[in-house]
Amino acid sequence: MALRIYFTTLLIHKNKDLLRSQLNWTNTSTAFETQIRDLIAENQNLTEQIKLMKMELSLGPGQYSVDAYCPKENNKKACKACQEGWLTFESNCYAINDAEPHEQKTWREARENCKGKISNLAVVINAAEKKTVSEKSWRYNGNKGYWIGLRVEDGKWKWLDGRDAANSAWIDQPPSDSHCAISVQDQGFKSVSCNETNRWICKKKALSV
């Protein structure tokens, strides 16, 4: 009887050790996957920046920037506040990235992509801008929307410029760890996991022309 109890106890301890090892392996695997995604996003960002540098080198210092904002129309340069493919609202430019499902990105990957375009995920300043961003967040596949520059940090909704999301009417869902905001047309801002993949909106200052 004592021998049976001994072996039963031994098996229980072995099982606990196996479960602990499996948990450690799962955590390690998740950490590796996160690192891999971060490296992929960083690589895409660097690739975009290298592409811009190559274009500038081939065209001459500053020429790429000039051509991007001042394309030729009828053999004359017509300068615009935003480069081709970007939308203009007030003093800002917006890139609406309508990526296909297999090319959509997590919040962090989307932000890296915007950085590669010398911009950042869209930070909304006022109600007029919120209306514009919402109108450009075309609805598709249910509640999926477009990443913007709003995420949960230190238990609060914060914009990338450091401001708290003081207007609770804009996002009435309570802050939850590892959650970021998407903009969905006619539905406002929604809270979803930052690791989901979505389309995204970049924003940068417009040129004074």
Average pLDDT on 48-61 reads: 46
Res. 7 pLDDT band, cuts 50 70 90: very low
The residue that leads in pLDDT, 109 or 59, is 109
Task: Give 97-115 pLDDT, tens digit per residue.
Answer: 998 888 999 999 999 999 9
Number of domains in the chain: 1
Q: Specify the residue for token string 């200052």.
A: 205
Tokens at residue 19, please? 């479960």
- If DSSP codes are grouped into helix, strand and coil, which group holds residue 30? helix
Please state the pTM of the whole predicted model: 0.65
| 195, amino acid identity | N
CA–CA–CA angle 121, 203, 110 (5° rounding): 30
Q: Are 190 and 182 in contact (CB under 8 A)?
A: yes
Look at residue 202 and tell me if it is in a domain.
Answer: yes
Residue 207 forms part of a structural domain:
yes
Structure confidence by residue, pLDDT tens digits, 23-48? 666 666 566 665 666 566 555 555 55
Using the structure block, give the residue that is written with the tokens 């001459």: 60
Q: From the CB of residue 4, how many other CB atoms can be counted at a distance below 10 Å? A: 8
Name the one residue in this structure whose structure tokens are 């009417």: 169
Decide if 99 is inside a domain. Answer: yes
Of residues 18 and 95, which shows the higher confidence score? 95
Domain that holds residue 123: 86-209
Residue 205 lies in a domain: yes
Is residue 122 scored above 80 in pLDDT?
A: yes
Query: Which tens digits make up the pLDDT trace of 150-165?
Result: 999 989 999 999 888 7
Q: Could you tell me if residue 196 is inside a domain?
A: yes
CATH of residue 176's domain is 3.10.100.10
| Distance of alpha carbon 170 from alpha carbon 125, whole angstroms | 11
Is 51 within the bounds of a domain? no
Domain annotation covers residue 56 = no
Distance CA 195, CA 178 (A): 8
pLDDT at 198 over 60: yes
Residues 118, 86: contact at Cβ < 8 Å?
no
Q: Which two tokens stand for residue 15?
A: 């099982």
Residue 77 domain-assigned? no
